[in-house]
Copies of this chain bind each other. A is one copy, B any other.
Amino acid sequence: MRDDGPRDVKAATRAHLVLDNFWPYRLSVISNRISDAIARQYSDRFGLSVPEWRVMAVLGGMPGLSARDVAQRTAMDKVRVSRAVANLVTVGRVSRRTDAQDGRITRLSLTPRGQDIYDQIVPMALKLEEDVFSTLSAEDRELLDRVMAKLAHQADRLGAFPVS
């Protein structure tokens, strides 16, 4: 009996996927763990969501950005940015003023209170980054840098790019 029927032929040639060996999955799990650990810190202490912190993070370094600029630099869509900014304005951590030249644009900045919080979170975040990545040798970091650049490039090529 040489033919076991279609079902078993299929089974015999079946491709398998083991999540634990699947690069995209592993990358996702690790990345989320690290992000969550950092988010927990500023969320616990300052009641900030991830989108809110991202907005503050870019405004801390570049005051006066528009919401659209912030969206680009944080890889978030404009709705998320809009809502995060609305919350931050409500609690007095970000200020908003309409651009003098173009009435559609709002210029965003940290308020002094927002700046205070930024000044407290940045060292925490940098320390956590250091905690996680310091076990890597200089060589490892360099490799990771190259690898991530390559992966970013490949991901873009896939058209994985609806970052409005």
Chain A's interface size range is 35 or more
CB pair B34 A125 closer than 8 Å: no
Which residues 128-155 of A have a CB within 8 angstroms of B?
A: 128-129, 131-133, 135-136, 140, 143-144, 146-148, 150-155
| Number of identical monomers bound together in the oligomeric complex | 2
Give the shortest distance, in Å, between A37 (CB) and chain B (any CB): 3
Determine chain A's interface SS by DSSP, over half rule: helix
Whether, in the assembled complex, A47 has its beta carbon less than 8 Å from a beta carbon of chain B, the answer is no
Contact residues in B for A146 (Cβ distance below 8 Å): 140
Whether, in the assembled complex, A18 has its beta carbon less than 8 Å from a beta carbon of chain B, the answer is yes
CB pair B23 A133 closer than 8 Å: yes
CB pair A148 B15 closer than 8 Å: no
- Interface CB pairs A-B, < 8 A, 12: A15-B126, A23-B144, A24-B31, A24-B34, A24-B129, A27-B35, A27-B148, A28-B31, A28-B35, A33-B160, A34-B160, A143-B143
